[in-house]
Amino acid sequence: MSAVIGNTTGAGAPGLLDKERTIAGAGFNRWLVPPAALAIHLCIGMAYGFSVFWLPLSKALGGAAAACGKDVGLMAELFASDCNWRISSLSLMYTLFFVVLGVAAALWGGWLEHVGPRKAGVVAAFCWCGGLLISALGVSTHQLWMMWLGSGVIGGIGLGLGYISPVSTLIKWFPDRRGMATGMAIMGFGGGAMIGSPMAVELMKAFGGSVAATFVCMAVIYFIFMMGGAMSYRIPATGWKPKGWTPPVAQTANAMITQRHVHVKKVWGIPQFWLIWMALCMNVTAGIGVIGMASPMLQEVFGGSLIGLTGDAAKFGNLDKDALAKIAVVGAGFAALLSLFNIVGRFFWASMSDKLGRKLTYVVFFVLGGALYASIPSSADSGAKLAFVGAICIIVSMYGGGFATVPAYLADIFGTQMVGAIHGRLLTAWSTAGILGPVLITYMREYQQGLGLPKAEAYNQSMYIFVGVLVIGLVCNLLVRPLNEKWFMNDAELAEEKRLAHDRAAANEVGTGSGGAASAAASSNLVAVLAWLAVGIPLAWGVYRTLLSVVKFFG
């Protein structure tokens, strides 16, 4: 049994999930690894698209059933089976998703480095898809606590492990293009909702509105894709490097890129870790705050002018039900447009960081982002819709770009040996920002409206607060310096870590590609094409469906 699921004793042949089993042999095509990572990220990225379930779930007991009354608190609602759930209670799933994601990545990042991406990917598949099945049972029995436990907690663990599973591997396969490599994978997390949301809508139609059946069906589909991705992971042998590539020489080529390695257990005490933590947290706080309110903000700021109305008739408060429905369609198209910028930004900015450097790329995020946030109130006041929309689109692209660039930033500063584990700990910044951003913008909106300001002006103060948030991030980023020698592992410590991580200088006898290099290269090129088609076709379908919504916005 251990030979199949993983040999934990160190004796005998490695099991199917053991790290030794994944060491690539001669002729392996490194371009097979990004689609394996995308297969997992495109599935877990559906966490962004869960809002499609809120409205159906809030009416699960039928139109005649009363919603949970004001006297029913959140704790009572978790166990109530005789009243409809509130959308606000359902949407707390987002907080659970990203808090648990960060905690899981921080707790088990070191374990992932030792056991390898394949085993971590398999565990992620069982957690994410198993969580969906538990949620399906929760929907069937109308128990909200099962939804929270299934998708929020267990699924959140799957999110954390699945999110960081390819990071260290991709950086080791693409030392010459670290940003581009991680950008390709993390792009998938942003694109997961583009595929999952319309797929969920179609499935709910096919199952007569049943969310439970939809969860079960999606769990099966995702499990197939995630297991395919996990089993396709391969890691390079120790010392491997791309043909013709020479590592940059420290202190002469780029002092911000080290060839040494830091152990994950030390990072909590390293100032540079906390500076990058703050930089990511501030970038995400500002970005996630705008993403969560972008559609209602557009509708409240521009009102009926979005559908051609003018004067007082265009003010949001004066719109009738029909006009509100029409601008809601425009708002949905705007949200779809932002999802495209979120995805493209992840690949674009991460790839640009290979040329600009990670530190300078983050400077662009904060300086350009601050200027764009500051421009939004004036664009809104003047009715400049194009400037308003353009600013938010670029902001969202840099929000995604920050996620995709930071793994390469960490590899530059802390080395590659334990970058996946260090990245896992850094993701606690995401968990923090997932609370700060929405709270800041929603609190300030309610506060401004409480003062009697029109809806169109209720967001202005939040934009200026986000400028201040980005200034804090800019200062932290500028303070990042190369590490002192004392933080790096010495030769003995590095050798021990390599032993624990089962690093090998050559492919194991049960690895892949142990035959002739020429024949292995030819076959892996064909497999690479098929692998990219497997993830590219669903992604293209998701982009197509998203573009249909974008057309409504421009229409």
Range of the domain at 296: 249-490
Tell me, what CATH number does 221's domain have?
A: 1.20.1250.20
Question: Within a domain: residue 67?
Answer: no
Do 447 and 404 lie in one domain? The reply is: yes
CA distance 515 to 373: 56
Do 369 and 481 lie in one domain? The reply is: yes
Is-contact 193 46, C-beta < 8 A? yes
Q: What angle do CA 446, 451, 452 make, to 5 degrees?
A: 100
Do 384 and 442 lie in one domain? The reply is: yes
CA distance 468 to 168: 33
Say whether pTM exceeds 0.85. yes
CA distance 234 to 403: 23
Do 273 and 166 lie in one domain? The reply is: no
Question: Within a domain: residue 300?
Answer: yes
Q: Using the 3D structure, point to which of 490, 506, 536 is the last residue of a domain.
A: 490
Q: Using the 3D structure, point to which of 473, 490, 507 is the last residue of a domain.
A: 490
Helices (H) and strands (E) in the chain, counts: 21, 0
Do 477 and 531 lie in one domain? The reply is: no
Do 484 and 534 lie in one domain? The reply is: no
Q: How many domains are contained in the chain?
A: 2
Q: Using the 3D structure, point to which of 474, 490, 506 is the last residue of a domain.
A: 490
What is residue 152's DSSP assignment? Answer: I
CA 501 vs CA 418, 439, 457: distances in Å: 9, 41, 55
CA distance 459 to 377: 8
Question: Within a domain: residue 335?
Answer: yes
Do 232 and 254 lie in one domain? The reply is: no
pLDDT per residue, tens digit, the chain (555 aa), is 333 344 544 445 568 888 888 988 877 899 999 999 999 999 999 998 888 898 888 888 865 557 777 778 888 888 888 888 888 788 888 888 888 999 999 999 999 999 999 999 999 999 999 999 999 999 999 999 999 999 999 999 999 999 999 988 999 999 999 999 999 889 999 889 899 999 998 999 999 989 999 999 999 999 999 999 999 999 998 888 888 888 766 544 456 888 899 999 999 999 999 999 999 999 999 998 888 778 888 888 888 888 888 888 888 878 888 888 888 888 888 888 988 999 999 999 999 999 999 999 999 999 999 999 999 999 988 888 899 999 999 999 999 999 999 999 999 999 999 999 999 999 999 989 988 887 777 777 777 777 777 766 777 888 899 999 999 999 999 999 999 999 999 999 999 998 888 777 655 433 444 445 555 556 678 888 999 999 999 999 999 998 988 887 876
Q: Which residue has the tokens 């998701």?
A: 542
What is the rounded radius of gyration, in angstroms, for the C-alpha atoms of the chain? 24
Question: Within a domain: residue 448?
Answer: yes
Do 189 and 254 lie in one domain? The reply is: no
Measured in degrees and rounded to the nearest 5, phi and psi for residue 362 equal -70, -30
For residue 130, the tally of other CB atoms under 10 A from its CB is 18
Question: Within a domain: residue 256?
Answer: yes
CA distance 522 to 526: 7
Do 200 and 224 lie in one domain? The reply is: yes
CA distance 472 to 455: 28
Do 234 and 253 lie in one domain? The reply is: no
Question: Within a domain: residue 74?
Answer: no
Q: Which residue has the tokens 């400077």?
A: 363
Do 297 and 336 lie in one domain? The reply is: yes
- Distance in Å from the first CA to the final CA of the chain: 60
Do 268 and 120 lie in one domain? The reply is: no
Question: Within a domain: residue 297?
Answer: yes
Contacts of 167 (CB under 8 A, 6+ apart): 182, 185, 407, 419, 420, 423
Question: Within a domain: residue 95?
Answer: yes
CA distance 68 to 61: 11
